[in-house]
Structure 1
Amino acid sequence: MSVRTGERTQGDLTVIVKAKEMVIYTLRITNNEKNFPKRYRLSVVNKIQDKAFEIVTCLIEANEIYPRTKAELQYRQMRQRQAMAYCRSLMATVDICKELFSLSSDKVAFWAKSVFEVRTLTAAWFKKDEERFKDKFK
């Protein structure tokens, strides 16, 4: 059975959905005082949360651009690359926090898997864009 035209919705790109899920998990784990004591809120927690939100922001901004010029493609790819770099940066911070705050291996493994999935999907999107636009903007 098909969905009536008026009831159809445009879904987000899978990588954006996964990135939002990653942000929600990040907020849940970092807002828990059992994981991150209050005294680390400004020095560590805010940086982690900001980085997670920045990943989503980069992906949404990249997705909003359908390149019509080489400059637009370059800007889109720059935002994709930034999202991938922020994923690596976030994971480095998570690794440090694992040791510093004795985070459980289960929490860190789930968090790492989530961040890695976003990075992998972003890399695939970047590569697909390179293939799709290689002849259009020489």
Structure 2
Amino acid sequence: MEFVLNGKPVRFDGEPDTPLLWVIREHFKLAGTKFGCGIGACGACTVHVEDEAVRSCCYPLALVKGKRVTTIEGLSKDSSHPVQQAWIAEDVPQCGYCPSGMIMATVALLKRHPKPSDAEVDANLTNLCRCATYHRIRAAIHRASNEGGA
């Protein structure tokens, strides 16, 4: 299976039904994408496939053949992406488990809705935060949208 991972062509010789999460973490050793629930409910495993947010824990590898996959490591080399900077400025992370998936989901949201309303955030950002920092997450999303976040 050949695809592009964080801008580089890669190959994985494994079962096509292998969840993308395990290929990213175990084969390519990119640990930023987290395993949370394993059923696509929490969003800790969110990555982009062709700029769309997907839950990689239940996304079969066969669906990425010939496509572009971006993980949190591919978003920026130095946390300089506007959404990452907004997360830092708003002091969003506590335990550090959800931020990578939440940031990836937010980047995809801001590409579709550059200035999202609170209702659009609620409808489109379904990732869970164990520490319940939702008020800071919302503030970071609005900060990033004001700074050209996608």
In terms of fraction of residues, the more helix-rich structure is 1
Q: TM-score, normalised by structure 2?
A: 0.25
Q: TM-score, normalised by structure 1?
A: 0.26
In terms of fraction of residues, the more strand-rich structure is 2
